[in-house]
Structure 1
């Protein structure tokens, strides 16, 4: 090819090197593990994702469990090609801002369950870090279960599947139950911690002469509200999902999921109770602060009233009129001081009697 002749007045285009942000990241970096279960038992070692389904199809009762961490769009598209996942599901997985739900896509189920983690308020610098939420998505097919976690930690739940009376024999849906059950059980643990915190706040509010921190009460209300937004839709989603997908889950497995649904409802009820208690604490705190302010104003008013009498006497005799008999009296000065002190003592006694001081 002959060399290009530059056009006069036109700058030659510069060839930009490939950006580091567009360098494809190997999908293996986002894979936690890829395992094959045969007759409810995990096969030793991991298998390559591209050949996992081929290995599972060699057996009558086998499936693949692929665990991922925050895959990119390109990586998820590669996974969709291997496991025949729909484009809508791929978009939801990458977006990672989904409400708890169960959706049916032909012969696949797409489940979303939010994760919740708790940190003590004394261990964090920002109050918003007490409750943090993440997201775990699950794609369940006839021969595979794909779990994707976003800002969430999941332990190895393989032993949970094998220990629960060979639950893995029931197929890939058992993986969805194991993950959901773990996350909802963690909800219960978080609510136990929150209950201790709310009890501590109640003790602070109703302890006499204790400084009330209203900001802390607002902080916990906000954190509990965030947790409610994350988990309240789960129970209705499970209820509807179990009702409309009976052909996809065996009866024994639906019983396990109902237990998860019940625990999710219990957590929602407990959080609603905490929210109501915190609202009552806010009202009680405002009332207590108002009463304290009224008491302080009475004390200030009593002190000002006690100082008013000496000021009045000093003001009268400070006018220095010519015809004021007390000004020429030898004992006028000490007598005026005694009247001032006597009036202040009488007012002090009366204020103490009426609990103003």
Structure 2
């Protein structure tokens, strides 16, 4: 008996789920600006990061400045393979959240700077944030400088424009860019500390004002923001000192002189931040003392009213014992006499406590 040909299945064929692969984002997406500088002048035209380096090395002079913003791992590896950056530098640049530091990998310097930004607010006694931080990482080679930014407030467009308006500084090489960025970051520290100083003064005035009550949590909030600022600023002192003092550094002597001025400004900022911390510690102690004093005043008032209330309570307790033979129980004027006596004693106690400032 001939076999019946099988009919095609009406059920949809099961498809094997294929893994979804994310398409790599082009490196150009992360590059904010890329330029070639010869004798302090920017060459016209647009360059990719690889074409710019090839142009510099073909000419045998000048340097490349590549600016990136929050690159991912693939984008950073593309730049690193072209410029010969160490894999540890790439890891730090991608994941960020680094302390300020200075490291050297062969002929490449790696400098990490923490940026700070002052968050505008209506009142220091109600806000929850005053300082926000970001990062700028600088890769400095003999013929290139690469800047990697993390955070929205750490833009370098203004710094690049100022440098391009001063060709003599740019002619000093890529290390002049590192100085300009460091100077810009430290100047930002100065601006932020000046604004925070006003907040500290306002908080101090509020704490010591007799008609205002500042929650101690707000003082701790301001102290927390000062700690965050100090963590961003203070660790930079060691890298700046190395850039100024190391004679074997690839940074030329002319640029190291400028870096000395940056280090001086940084020292001034660090000292002011230390003063803020001391003032806020004093304010915390003052606020705690004020709370303790207020609690003592409250306890005195409560104790005074308890003492006044104890007199009628005691008398009522005595006459509520229901003994058969008690004085004045059968006396016609016993009740008004007792009530009047209680009133006199309570008023006398009230005046005594009031005179002693307990009430």
TM-score by length of 2: 0.89
Q: Is the 8 A contact 2:243 2:259 kept in 1?
A: no
Q: Summarize the alignment of residues 238-253 of structure 1 with structure 2, pairs less than 5 Å apart.
A: 238-253=240-255
Partner of 1:258: 260
The offset of 1:128, in angstroms, is 6.0
Query: How well do the aligned residues superpose, as a CA RMSD in angstroms?
Result: 2.3
CA-to-aligned-CA distance 1:180-219 (integer Å, 9 cap, x gap): 1111111111111211111111112111142231111111
In the superposition, relative to structure 1, how do residues 251 and 197 fare at CA in structure 2: closer, same or farther (>3 Å)? Answer: same
Q: Is the 8 A contact 1:128 1:223 kept in 2?
A: no
2: CA distance, partners of 1:128 / 1:113: 25
CA-to-aligned-CA distance 1:95-150 (integer Å, 9 cap, x gap): 313221222222221111111112135499x9664322111101111111110011
Partner of 2:111: 111
Q: Which runs of 5+ in 1 are unaligned?
A: 1-11
Partner of 1:334: 336
Partner of 1:149: 149
In the superposition, relative to structure 1, how do residues 128 and 304 fare at CA in structure 2: closer, same or farther (>3 Å)? Answer: closer
Secondary structure, aligned partner of 2:171: helix
Partner of 2:273: 271
In the superposition, relative to structure 1, how do residues 179 and 294 fare at CA in structure 2: closer, same or farther (>3 Å)? Answer: same
Q: Which runs of 5+ in 2 are unaligned?
A: 1-13
2: CA distance, partners of 1:14 / 1:320: 94
1: CA distance, partners of 2:156 / 2:53: 24
2: CA distance, partners of 1:322 / 1:74: 100
CA-to-aligned-CA distance 1:256-293 (integer Å, 9 cap, x gap): 11111111111111111111111111111111111110
2: CA distance, partners of 1:267 / 1:288: 31
Partner of 2:212: 210
The offset of 1:220, in angstroms, is 1.4
Secondary structure, aligned partner of 1:170: coil
The total of aligned residue pairs comes to 343
TM-score by length of 1: 0.89
After the TM superposition, which segments of 4 or more aligned residues of structure 1 sit over 6 Å from their partners?
none
The offset of 1:63, in angstroms, is 1.3
Which of the residues 163, 168, 182 maps onto 2:184? Answer: 182
Q: Is the 8 A contact 1:160 1:178 kept in 2?
A: no
1: CA distance, partners of 2:166 / 2:345: 85
